[in-house]
Structure 1
Amino acid sequence: MSPTIQNLVPQLNSIVLVPIILLVSSLAWIVYARCFHPLAKYPGPFFASITRLWHIINVAQGSSDKTQRQLHEKYGPIVRIAPNEVAIADPEAIRTIYSAQSGFTKTDFYLPFRADWARYPDAFTNLDERQHAERRRIVNSVYSMSNIVQLEEDIDKCVQLLIAKFTDRAMKGSIIDMSEWVQWYAFDVIGKLFFSHPFGFLQNAYDHAGYIHALDLLIPFIAVACAAPTYLRPLVLFSGAAIPRVFKALKALKHIESASGACVVQRQHLIAQGKAEECEDMLQSFFEIMQEKGQEKDFGITEVKMEAYGAFIAGSDTTAAAITAILYHLMRTPSAYARLTAEIDEAEQAGLLSQDIQYHEAVGLSYLMACCKEGMRLHPSVGMTLPRHVPRGGCVIAGQWFPEGTRVGINAAVVQRDRGVFGHDADEFVPERWFRPNAAKMERCMFQFGGGSRTCIGKNISLCEMYKVIPSLLRSFDLQLSDPDREWETRNYWFNKPSKVYTTIRCRDSIFSGPP
């Protein structure tokens, strides 16, 4: 054998050997994952059982809520959606997995939302339960309903402006995209509550500074990163150099960080000049915490910036999705729309509603509360599984034992349509269900704001916004879908965002007689 051939033999052996090793390893993994893995007995898509890529693609398609409902319909209450993860559709499992004392912990799924400049993880991305509780207690009072109600006048101003803009559109006979206007409203409310001034979405009727466009680019990118294994996330980040859409998403992240940071710096200047006394907003409350307890609680300017950043990231999309869903389903259900309008009119005539409908007045409208619950039940703002690690020693969930470390989670968009809890008509918009004898049980199975100690910290802001704006709009206008046969569109990347809710607006004859 010639020297040249002798030198080639090892190379040829390597070329042949490497793919053989890869093939054998892959086959061995498939056999293990399908036959011997602790989750092997649970049904689900074949590829989901052998690779996390199935879950990544499912999230990237923006319809994981619909896909998971179909999977549970086909396979039952426990579905394997990744080699070491199952989705659970048992409402009773909400308490097991998400209660404050459950012992279940957040997985690394949430880490892509974490700001790399933060000293402490924010309430959403903190994986340490003890630290999460300690850090959240520092700011809990700022997000309490009692504090939000004290700032209610700020929400009133945004509702007033929205009504003025709708009146103008009604007079012109314009057709509007309700989802667009509701998000402008929600973003302006965040501006007013946190920074004492609306951003200008409603006033100018456009996406101020491109914030919404930035979020629309950013959130899908983050959602895919969340679904990817930790070791692949750097590749997702570096792909920005080659994939224009990812590059734009990374630029959008910097845009949001800069915008929220600028609001904090501007307030710092006002405080330094002694001109911040008139700023009675949430940002000022964070500065007061920093001044009064900062050293004791290790709460500094970085933590203030973190709260402002969180308001930009999650303050508008979730609330806007909920309000849009409620209005959309009301317009598609004339009987419910008529009953709610009648309830509002009766309250008006009885002098129970102020010119600016107050939170305490709205919660007294029982059918309004039912409509809001029903809209959020059918279309929770977050329509993805929220995974947790099974604690040490394993746990029984939905009648099945899972070993410690297994990733398990519940999707509100699935569990809130459980027919065993919500009835045979669970897929329909029926506000009257909330007056049934099992209403308390249904309430316990609602998961749109998460559960336990991890309940969404902005829940009270969202509820106050929707309880005020929905009756205010129905009192002032007749709202109808411009094409009743056309369904809305939704894109579910973390936030299950609706769009193309084209609406015709007509001014109603005012019957207002309540107190000013």
Structure 2
Amino acid sequence: MLLAMLNGLAVLPLALMVISLYRVFFHPLSRVPGPKIAALSNAWLAWHARNGRVRELGKTLHRKYGPVVRVGPNEVWFDSKDAFKIIYNASNGFEKSDFYCTNIHICMNKYLLTLALVATALYRPQVNWKLEVHSPDTLDFLSERDMKRYRLQRRLIGPLYHPSNLKKYESAVDGVLRQVVSQLKSLAGAEVDLKQWMHIITVECLGAVVLSWSPGYINARTDGGTSSHAYLSWRHKTVFGLFPFAVIAGTYSKTFGRLFARLWGITFRTPKNFKTFFTPVYQKGSRRINASLRPKPPADTRQDLLADLIQLHKDRPLFQETYLRRLAITNFGAGHETTTSALTAVIAMIASHPKSKKRVVEEVEQVARPVSFDVSSGLSYTQACIKEAQRLHPVIGMALPRKVPTEGFSLHGQHFPAGTTVGCNPISLHQNPNIFGPDAEAFNPDRWFDEALDTKAMKRYNLTWGGGARTCPGRHLAEMILYKVMPTLIAEFDIEVDIPPEEDMPFYFMAMLSGAKARFLPKENENHTTGI
């Protein structure tokens, strides 16, 4: 037995060498340009993700290698319009990759079926087997693989998340903003962490809109460490997402999960005085749902998004109780970081570009307060600044990965076989001069008025809110908050922002401007505050 073990150990280096040679020189993707070391293992991309350097990859890889770059043994990034049109096609785009296997049942189902398929092929090669993956019937917009079910869920909730319905919650956001303005003024221009305050505002707005509830962050002047904790968790998720086997093994063996995390140096501790908002959100949402489903439910006069979701469940049985309970939490889980990221980027970009800041202030000060969603949507230059900030600092810092279907596809002189992970990197796509002009790397809101540029294409080839059929279901809710918060803060304060160098900011799959410091200096003229 000892001799057999020694022979096995001797064979291992040879096997690794053969695999490496195959991946670099004989793999179907071997002709795709990119760092040779990336072809060996996902460890190359995971290492950059672990170090928070994925934004740097997005900005440099395509400059060096062109519109298609191999970033892993079986993964390719694009930054072209042609790739976007194929991969994220609204009607027949590619399905999500294994990176999104946050649902362990989906991961296990797929990998166990794969093993079964291989075993059966060995013993019964004459049978034509087809691999099918079935995910649980719950509401998970992030990792749902069943497109019929996904589209049904989207159709059911669509009217509730349409701007025409969301407008009735504007008064709830206005109430939050009155508290925010008052609290920020009491700071008398003291320096604050920009991302934390944008997170405070976001969670408070979501609480007011969804549950008619406040987590108490504004008065406490802190989010209880939830923004920093959540961002560190994305470091963890990004690395694990590149190794789906680790997700499965870590679920069934906590010891393995901890060892894998320690190996990569992605463990993190809960901050001191941590105050999560998810526990009260879950508790309050569950109590209201339970009460509403009783034979004789108690009277509840609250007019918020949860009330609409409960009514949708009663009116449309297809919107199951499982969906209802899941979506009540999803509003916060999917919304608190994406909206925070957008707010942080927009405030930081406007405040750090004096000419643009001056024009936004002049435009905002011409409208009445509180600024409505409709009025804010019509502020042309302000909207251009919002689009420009989100273009340069998208929420996602890595390619939105998809799987090439059975027939494969060819593009840019390369063929990509079935199963290849492909996607457009938002960082590089949004800075492609063929789409956004020769100064695509610069913050220039005027490009959105430039007749020499195709502004329709600039809007179309954009991954700010995702791509194709998988665009963010809560986009309009996030925009309603963004469009009301940003002009209010601009009108009430002279905002100064100190943004650290990009190399000092970590960016993961979720990419956020972090470490920026802001000062909200109350304006001397108080006449415009009567609406707030």
Of 208, 219, 234, 1:219 maps to: 234
Tell whether the 8 Å contact from 1:289 to 1:299 is kept in structure 2 after alignment.
Answer: no
Shift in Å, 1:334 = 0.7
**1:307 matched to 2:324:** no
- The match for 1:262 is 283
Return the TM-score normalized by structure 1. 0.87
Shift in Å, 1:368 = 0.4
- The match for 1:143 is 161
Shift in Å, 1:416 = 0.2
Tell whether the 8 Å contact from 2:161 to 2:473 is kept in structure 1 after alignment.
Answer: yes
- The match for 1:11 is 2
Identity value in percent: 27
Mean alpha-carbon deviation: is it higher for 211-220 or for 36-45?
A: 211-220
Distance 1:118-1:160 versus aligned 2 partners, 3 A rule: farther
Tell whether the 8 Å contact from 1:270 to 1:276 is kept in structure 2 after alignment.
Answer: no
- The match for 1:471 is 487
Letter of the 1:89 counterpart: D
Shift in Å, 1:195 = 0.8
Tell whether the 8 Å contact from 2:495 to 2:521 is kept in structure 1 after alignment.
Answer: yes
1:224-243 residue pairs with structure 2 within 5 A? 224-228=239-243, 230-237=244-251, 238=254, 239-241=256-258
- The match for 1:160 is 178
Shift in Å, 1:374 = 0.3
Shift in Å, 1:19 = 2.8
**Residues 272-298 of structure 1 deviation map (CA, whole Å, 9 limit, x = unaligned):** 57445322111122211222222xx16
Shift in Å, 1:369 = 0.6
Of 503, 506, 513, 1:491 maps to: 506
Tell whether the 8 Å contact from 2:183 to 2:218 is kept in structure 1 after alignment.
Answer: yes
- The match for 1:4 is none
Tell whether the 8 Å contact from 1:489 to 1:498 is kept in structure 2 after alignment.
Answer: no
**Residues 363-412 of structure 1 deviation map (CA, whole Å, 9 limit, x = unaligned):** 11100010000000000011121111112312233453322221111121
Of 295, 303, 311, 1:280 maps to: 303
C-alpha distance in 2, partners of 1:137/1:57? 39
**1:72 matched to 2:85:** no
C-alpha distance in 2, partners of 1:118/1:192? 31
Distance 1:515-1:259 versus aligned 2 partners, 3 A rule: closer
1:72-471 residue pairs with structure 2 within 5 A? 72-112=62-102, 119-170=137-188, 173-208=189-224, 211-228=226-243, 230-237=244-251, 238=254, 239-241=256-258, 246=267, 258-268=279-289, 270-271=291-292, 272=294, 274-294=297-317, 297=318, 299-300=320-321, 302-345=322-365, 348=366, 353-398=367-412, 400-437=414-451, 438=453, 439-471=455-487
C-alpha distance in 2, partners of 1:11/1:515? 82
Tell whether the 8 Å contact from 1:64 to 1:384 is kept in structure 2 after alignment.
Answer: yes
Distance 1:37-1:276 versus aligned 2 partners, 3 A rule: farther
C-alpha distance in 1, partners of 2:34/2:424? 15
Aligned-residue CA RMSD (Å): 2.8
SS at match of 2:69: strand
C-alpha distance in 2, partners of 1:37/1:88? 19
**Residues 124-145 of structure 1 deviation map (CA, whole Å, 9 limit, x = unaligned):** 2101222211222222222221
Shift in Å, 1:497 = 2.0
Of 34, 37, 41, 1:44 maps to: 34
C-alpha distance in 2, partners of 1:429/1:247? 34
C-alpha distance in 1, partners of 2:489/2:278? 33
Shift in Å, 1:103 = 4.1
Mean alpha-carbon deviation: is it higher for 79-88 or for 192-201?
A: 192-201
SS at match of 1:112: coil
Tell whether the 8 Å contact from 1:370 to 1:431 is kept in structure 2 after alignment.
Answer: yes
Tell whether the 8 Å contact from 1:194 to 1:283 is kept in structure 2 after alignment.
Answer: yes
Tell whether the 8 Å contact from 2:492 to 2:529 is kept in structure 1 after alignment.
Answer: no
C-alpha distance in 2, partners of 1:513/1:202? 19
Mean alpha-carbon deviation: is it higher for 107-116 or for 336-345?
A: 107-116
Shift in Å, 1:201 = 1.3
SS at match of 2:80: coil
Q: Which runs of 5+ in 1 are unaligned?
A: 1-9
Letter of the 1:356 counterpart: P
Shift in Å, 1:106 = 1.0
Distance 1:464-1:67 versus aligned 2 partners, 3 A rule: same
Letter of the 1:59 counterpart: A
Shift in Å, 1:358 = 0.1
Distance 1:114-1:180 versus aligned 2 partners, 3 A rule: farther
Tell whether the 8 Å contact from 1:103 to 1:391 is kept in structure 2 after alignment.
Answer: no
**Residues 50-74 of structure 1 deviation map (CA, whole Å, 9 limit, x = unaligned):** 2122222222222212123211121
Tell whether the 8 Å contact from 1:177 to 1:502 is kept in structure 2 after alignment.
Answer: yes
Letter of the 2:42 counterpart: R
Tell whether the 8 Å contact from 2:167 to 2:373 is kept in structure 1 after alignment.
Answer: yes
Distance 1:113-1:216 versus aligned 2 partners, 3 A rule: farther
**1:63 matched to 2:81:** no
Shift in Å, 1:448 = 1.0
Shift in Å, 1:258 = 4.2
Letter of the 1:264 counterpart: G
Tell whether the 8 Å contact from 2:500 to 2:516 is kept in structure 1 after alignment.
Answer: no
Tell whether the 8 Å contact from 1:44 to 1:79 is kept in structure 2 after alignment.
Answer: yes
SS at match of 1:70: helix
C-alpha distance in 2, partners of 1:474/1:178? 14
Tell whether the 8 Å contact from 2:500 to 2:515 is kept in structure 1 after alignment.
Answer: no
C-alpha distance in 2, partners of 1:21/1:115? 34
Letter of the 1:313 counterpart: G
C-alpha distance in 1, partners of 2:302/2:209? 10
C-alpha distance in 1, partners of 2:214/2:70? 45
